[in-house]
């Protein structure tokens, strides 16, 4: 098995020992992305739409750094701090996956810091 770390330029610093992405045999595993800028500051405090854009932009950056596009994403795991944010999150999500959206699940979960409202982790098939 071939395995490569995928870390796009400008990625937020990890909050724990992990890589933003791992590519292995044509499959890309994207770590849980949170709403952080390149300096590790929280983006969009209190605004689920702003955080969703930031998180999905981060997913997109990892996928593109691995040579793929959002069309290559086959599965998303979505974690929302508050399910009342589900409709607003979906408004933003739909702009990233307008046609043939990937399979996914969405659950309510406590996230690593209280200011985070959404986290997304993804699987994509790239370079196979």
Given a cut of 70, is residue 124 above it in pLDDT? yes
Calculate the dihedral angle through the C-alpha atoms of 78, 45, 90, 77, rounding to the nearest 10 degrees: -10
The whole-number pLDDT of residue 47 equals: 98
Report the CATH number that the domain containing residue 33 is assigned in CATH. Answer: 3.30.1330.40
CA distance 45 to 115: 6
CA distance 27 to 30: 10
Helix (H, G, I), strand (E, B) or coil at 42: strand
CA distance 65 to 117: 25
Q: pLDDT-derived band of residue 105, with 50, 70 and 90 as boundaries?
A: very high
Domain that holds residue 108: 3-125
Residue 112 C-alpha from the chain's centroid: 15
- For the chain, what is the domain count? 1
The whole-number pLDDT of residue 27 equals: 97
What angle is formed at CA 23 by the lines to CA 25 and CA 89, rounded to 5 degrees?
125
Note the residue count of the chain: 128
Contact 10, 104 (CB under 8 A): no
113 CB burial (10 A radius; 0-12, 13-18, 19+): exposed
Q: What would the pLDDT profile of 15-34 be if each residue is shown by its tens digit?
A: 888 999 999 999 999 999 99
Helix (H) or strand (E) holding 47: none
Report the percentage of the chain scoring pLDDT > 90: 89
pTM of the predicted model over 0.75 = yes
Q: What would the pLDDT profile of 68-95 be if each residue is shown by its tens digit?
A: 999 999 999 999 999 999 999 999 999 9
Q: pLDDT-derived band of residue 128, with 50, 70 and 90 as boundaries?
A: low
């Amino acid at each position: 098995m071939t395995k490569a770390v995928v870390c796009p330029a400008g990625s937020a610093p990890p909050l724990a020992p992990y890589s933003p992405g791992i590519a292995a045999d044509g499959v890309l595993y994207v770590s849980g992305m949170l709403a952080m800028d390149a300096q590790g500051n929280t983006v969009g405090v209190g605004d689920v739409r702003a955080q969703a854009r930031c998180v999905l932009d981060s997913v997109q950056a990892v996928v593109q750094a691995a040579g793929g596009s959002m069309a290559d994403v086959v599965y998303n795991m979505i974690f929302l701090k508050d399910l009342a944010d589900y409709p607003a999150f979906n408004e933003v999500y739909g702009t990233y996956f307008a046609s043939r959206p990937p399979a996914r699940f969405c659950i309510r979960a406590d996230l690593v810091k209280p200011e985070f409202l959404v986290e997304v982790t993804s699987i994509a098939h790239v370079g196979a």
